[in-house]
Amino acid sequence: MAGINISEAYNHFATTYVAKENANVDKHKKSDLQSVYKSIAKINKQSPLHVLKQDDYAQAEAVGIKEHARTLKSLLEALSSESEIVLNKKSAVSSDEDKVSVEYVGTGQENAPEFTINVDHLATNQINAGHFLDPDEPVALPIGSYAFSANINGHEYEFQYSIRNGDTNKDIQSKLSRLINKAGIGLIAGLQEDAEGKTSIIIGSSDTGLKKGSTLRFEISESSTSEKGLNVSYFGLNLIAQEPSNAHFFLNGNEHFSASNRFTVGNQYDLTLKAPNNPELPVVIGVKNENDALVENVRSLINGYNNFIDSISDIHDTGFKSNKLVGETVAIARAHLKATSDVGVSVAEDGHIDYSSQKLREATESETPAQPLENIKEFAKALSVKTDEISIDPMKYVERPVFNYRDPHGSDNPSPYITSEYSGMMFNNYC
């Protein structure tokens, strides 16, 4: 099987099993969890008790709008400098986004010099590809207990499993794949099928590149505790199909290596290498001028708002108050964008924001329109507060009749997770 097919199969498994970051919102400090707790507790000190209907669709939609809110929050964070929304925040630009993408991560106070980069080859991960076996044939190993060891990052992990009467090759390949993925040790596994319908197990490292003095990211071997043995060689768990390598590139003609395809240059540029480029056509990295950055950031803000409105408006479940959430969000836009039509920004009848990049650009090039831009900035701040509110208590937009009001003269102790019977689950992956 060609190496490219193995890489494609691995990439599929990586996107399936590896959790994705929601950009800036998932990058928490320890104090953030305490802030979430305090926010929930504050809500419940004065909130009545509700009856949550057992409506799976409505509850699923609540989780969905929370994720939509977090996506919008991530966009707003990208327009922020510390705790302040900065519409003209510097924005990095690459002359070839298909080869090298870039994000500006500096403070904005220092000069950001332009530079060139030539990418020789990308950093790769290690991929092991096992033997192709008939998926429906019984495993040609004795019934009993088996084990194998995976050595990764200097640590050894043992995986134990059993082969029972009637187990097929695919049964055990699938079992091993699940064991590896659930272990969370930096390995990703899945099954690959060839043209004849035979299947093999593919195991790859989630990290690319090599550590100094190492030649592999991981090694798989028979375990001494395995009663029967030979399971590694039977499935081909130790067969290396792609060796790991570091990225090789040149910055302004100077040679560099990186274990990852994503790295920071000068604490200002966050680069992601995507593909090698023609050495005679180096990729140029720099920052857009202030007016261009302003226009792009306003466009990004408006598109994020409009996408959020569209995503909520598409929800038609009777147990979910989508109209309430849409109305509250549109009201924020109408309150802050009353006097921004001069710079090409206005709220349409349906609640979407219309935007003219040409009009905004003309306004910024002639003279910076301070008040309209301040209104847009205040709109972004209010929108950020709204996304936090939705994330804390998305169940407020689900039909939930009041069960009992709190005793105003009784205990004021908060019930921190009563905003939703799913609150713990919702915040578990992020804090």
Strand 115-121 and strand 247-251: pairing? Answer: antiparallel
Residues 78, 298: Cα–Cα separation, whole Å: 12
Spell out the domain ranges in the chain.
Answer: 52-89+291-400, 92-123+246-287, 125-242
**Amino acid identity, residue 308?**
F
Fold of 125-242: Immunoglobulin-like (2.60.40)
Task: Read off φ and ψ for residue 53, nearest 5 degrees.
Answer: -70, 145
- Tokens 């928490």 correspond to what residue? 28
Cβ burial, residue 188 (10 Å; 0-12/13-18/19+): buried
Contact in structure between 99 and 122 (CB atoms under 8 Å): no
Cβ burial, residue 233 (10 Å; 0-12/13-18/19+): middle
Kindly give the confidence (pLDDT) of every residue in the chain, 431 residues in length, as a single tens digit, with 9 standing for 90 and above: 444 466 666 666 565 555 444 444 455 566 767 777 777 777 666 666 656 666 666 667 777 778 888 888 887 877 765 555 566 667 788 999 999 999 888 876 667 889 999 999 999 999 999 999 999 999 999 999 999 999 998 899 999 999 999 999 999 999 999 999 999 999 999 999 999 999 999 999 999 999 888 899 999 999 877 766 689 999 999 999 999 999 999 999 999 999 999 999 988 899 999 999 999 999 999 987 777 778 888 888 999 999 999 988 877 666 667 788 889 999 999 999 988 888 889 999 999 999 888 888 777 766 656 778 788 888 988 998 898 888 887 777 776 665 555 555 555 555 544 554 444 444 444 44
Q: Could you tell me the two tokens for 124? A: 């790769």
Residues 352, 354: Cα–Cα separation, whole Å: 6
Task: Read off φ and ψ for residue 341, nearest 5 degrees.
Answer: -65, -25
